Chain A
Amino acid sequence: MDENNNDAIAARRRALAEALRTGEPVVVTPTGEVEMKDEAQENGMSGIQVPDGKLAKED
C-alpha cells in the first residue's frame, strides 16, 4: 500500500516537473506547495501562478 502510494507521489512529481518544463500552468499554494493549475482548481485550492521564467542557464 505504501509502495503504491510512493509510486503515485513520484509519478505526480514527474508530471509536475514535465509541466514546468513544457510551460503548462503551475500554481504555488499559500504553503508553497507546487500544483498543476487544473488540479488545484479541482481541489478548490488557490495560489499564485508561476510566472514565465526559466532558471538561469549555466555557462
Chain B
Amino acid sequence: MAFYWYQSDPDLYQAEVAAMRKFFPSFQINQLQDGSGRLYWRGCVQPMGEGGMVWDLMLIYKNDHPHATEGEYGGSIQILPVKPRLKDIAARMMPLLEETYGGYDNAASRGFGLGLPHIYRQNFGRNEEYFICTADPKYFKAGQTRSTSAASALSWACKWIMLCEMWINGEISDDVALEGNY
C-alpha cells in the first residue's frame, strides 16, 4: 500500500522533480535518515547576488504534501536554513532587539519573540530548529489539480532571505519587516 505522497501520487512527484530541475538545477533530492520517509531538497542560493550571503537550505516535504492549514506557515514544504542557521542569527539579533524595545517581553509583543521576523520553531531530529515562514498558508495551493511546488516555496524563501538580509543590514525598518505586506 502506498504510504507516502510520492508513492500514492507519482505524477505529482515527477512534477515536483521537473520544476526543481528546471528552476533550481543545483538542488538535489534525498530522503531524511530519521525513519520518517520524508523527502527533501538541498542546495545553496544567494538571493542578494554577488556580495550577499550564500544560504545552504533544506526544503523538507511533510508527508501530507500538498497540504496547508491555518497556522501551518509555508504549508507542507518546510524551509530549514542549514547554514547560516537561523537560531544562530536570531541569538545575535535578540540582544539588539531587547535593547531597542526595552526587554524581551516588549520585543516579543512586537513580534520578535524568536529574534527574527516571520520564522517559526519546531523540533527537527534532536534539536529545536527555526524555519522560514515562507507564506501565509492561505497562499499555499493544495488542490488535486494544482499545488504549490518546492520550486515555488524556494522562490518565496529567497524573497524572505532578501528581506531578512535587508532588515539585518538596517535597510528596512522593523515595522516593514514585520508587516504582512511582503
> CB within 8 Å of B: which residues of A?
9-10, 13-14, 16-17, 20-21, 26-28, 30-34, 47-58
Point out the residues of chain A lying under 8 angstroms from B73, CB to CB: 56
Point out the residues of chain B lying under 8 angstroms from A31, CB to CB: 26, 45-46
B95 at the interface (CB under 8 A from A): no
B122 at the interface (CB under 8 A from A): no
| Min C-beta distance of A43 to chain B, whole Å | 12
B136 at the interface (CB under 8 A from A): yes
Point out the residues of chain A lying under 8 angstroms from B102, CB to CB: none
Chain A-chain B contacts (Cβ-Cβ < 8 Å), number: 113
Q: How big is chain B's contact interface, by range? A: 35 or more
| Cβ contact of A20, chosen from B117, B136, B139, B163, cutoff 8 A | B163
Q: Which of B23, B160, B161 has the most CB of A within 10 A?
A: B23
Q: Is the beta-carbon distance between A17 and B158 smaller than 8 angstroms? A: no
**CB nearest neighbor in A for B43:** A32
Mask, B89-133, CB within 8 Å of A = 1, is 000000000000000000000010000011000000000000001
Point out the residues of chain B lying under 8 angstroms from A26, CB to CB: 159
- In angstroms, Cα B151 to Cα A17, docked, is 21
